[in-house]
Amino acid sequence: MPEIINLARRAALYIRVSTEEQAKHGYSLEAQEKKLKAYSKEHGYKVAGIYIDEGKSARKAYTKRPEFMRMMDDVKADKIDVILFIKLDRWFRNIYDYYKIQEILDAHGVQWKTTEEHYDTETTNGRLHINIRLSVAQDECDRDSDRIKFVVNRKIERGEVVSGRVPKGFRIENKHLVLDPEMAPKMLDMFEYYDTHENLNGTSSYMRETYGISIHPNDIKQMLRNEKYKGKCRDNENWCPQLVPPEMWDRIQIKLGKRSVRNNQTGRIYLFSGLVRCAECGGLMTGVHASSSSYGENLYYRDKNATVLKRCVHTKMMPERKLEAWLLANLEGQISETERAWKIEHQQKKRKPKLDRAAVLRKLDRLKDLYLDDLITKEQYRADLEKYQAQLAQEDGPEERPPDFSALRSILDSGFNQMYQALDRKGRQDFWRGVIKTINIDADNIPHLILK
C-alpha cells in the first residue's frame, strides 16, 4: 500500500488562556501554538490563520473574545475548513454558547478537532459525552475561580504582588512592591507636572524632553488613575509604599474628571474626524483647534506620532478649511480618476480566469486515486499535489464592489454647491463620511482620496 498524503485543508489554530489559568497552571500560549502547528504539518493541514485570545476566560460570552470573533468572521466568509485547538476547555466551558457556535459551523461545513482529546459529534452518545464534559468543565471552572479569587485576595491583604506587571516607579522585592530609586522620582515629577498644568499632551512632551521617556498621553492618563501610586490596591489602603501623596492623587482625579466633562461639552464638530490619516505612518490624524482675533476658531488635523511622540516626519498640521476647499474643488475630478483606475483594475481581473475551486478539489481526489492504484509514482503525485495546492492558495477572494459613481455624479449635477452650503456642520460631516473612506495626507500636506 503506497503512502497516503493528506490533501491540504484550511485550518484555523485557536489558542486561549485566561489569567486564572496562567496563575494556576502556567499555560503557555507558545506551547499551544507549537503543538497545533506540529499537528497541522503532520496531518497535512494548511494553516489559514492563528487566533490567540490571551487572558480570556472560556466561561465568558464568546463575544468578549476578540480573536474568537475574528475567527468566526472568517468561518462565515468560508475561509476555514477545520478549527484546531488542543483541548475542549480551550473552546468552551459554557454549553449554551457551544451550541450557538456549533450551528454556525454546521451551516458553513466547518469541523473542529482537539489535538489531545477525541470527540465524536456525529452520534447521540458522542454529543452526550461532549455535554457531560462541558458541564464538568463549567463546574470545575466555577470552583477554580472561587479558589483563585480567595488566593488573590489573601495576597492583597498581605501586601503581596499578584502578577508580574509593575507600575513604572516600582520594582518587586520578596513578593512586595518597593519604590525604584531611579524611576520613582521621575514618576512623581510626572504627577506633579500634570497637577500644575492639567495637560496630558504637555505632560507626555515634558517626560520625553526631560527624561527621554516616551509615554503616550492615553497611557499617562491610565497611570494618573492607578491607585497603586498612592499605595492602595482594592480594599488594602497600605498595599505598597506611596509614590504620590494621596491628597495629590485625589486632586488629580478631580482634574481629570473636569477635563473629560469640558471636552464633551464643547460640541465642536470636526468635518473629517476619523477619515484623515497620515500617508507616511498610517496613523489617524486627530483634530485640534486654535483661536485668533482675526479668523475666530480654526480647526486643524495633526499626526500625534509626529507632533507628540516624534515617531513620524509629518509635522505639518492640515487646516480643515484648506482641506474642505480642496475637496469641493477636486471631488468631481477625484471621482473620475477613481472610476478610471477601478475599470482598469476590474478589466485586468476579468482577463484572469476565475479559479474553479470545485474542479481543483475533484482533480485532487482523482490524483489520490491514481496514486493509491499505483498508476503514478510518488514523485508525480507530489508534483501535481503541490501544483493544485498552489492554485487553491492563490484563489481570489470575493469581488470588491466599486463605488457608486453614478450616484456620486448625480449629487454633483443637482446643485451640489448650493446644497452643501445650506448644510450645518453635522450635515457636512455626515455627507463626507457617506462619500469618503479615507483621506491620506502626505508630508507635504497633499491629500490623496479613497472613495467608498
> Annotated active-site positions, please?
18
Residues contacting residue 214 through CB under 8 Å, at least 6 positions apart: 204, 207, 208, 309, 310
Measure the CA–CA gap between 239 and 157, rounded to whole angstroms: 7
**Coil/strand/helix, residue 194:** helix
C-alpha cell of residue 212: 527621554
Residues contacting residue 433 through CB under 8 Å, at least 6 positions apart: 274, 275
What phi and psi, each to the nearest 5 degrees, are found at residue 138? -65, -45
CA 279 to chain CA mean position, Å: 21
Residues contacting residue 408 through CB under 8 Å, at least 6 positions apart: 335, 435, 451
Measure the CA–CA gap between 105 and 93, rounded to whole angstroms: 18
C-alpha cell of residue 54: 490571551
How would you label 188-209 residue by residue, b for 16+ Cβ within 10 Å and e otherwise?
bebbebbbeeeebeebbbbbee
User: Beta 82-85 vs 111-114: how paired, if at all?
Assistant: parallel
Strand order in the sheet with 286-292: 286-292, 296-302, 318-319
246 in Cβ contact with 230 (< 8 Å): yes
Is residue 446 packed enough to be buried (19+ CB in 10 Å), middle (13-18) or exposed (0-12)? exposed
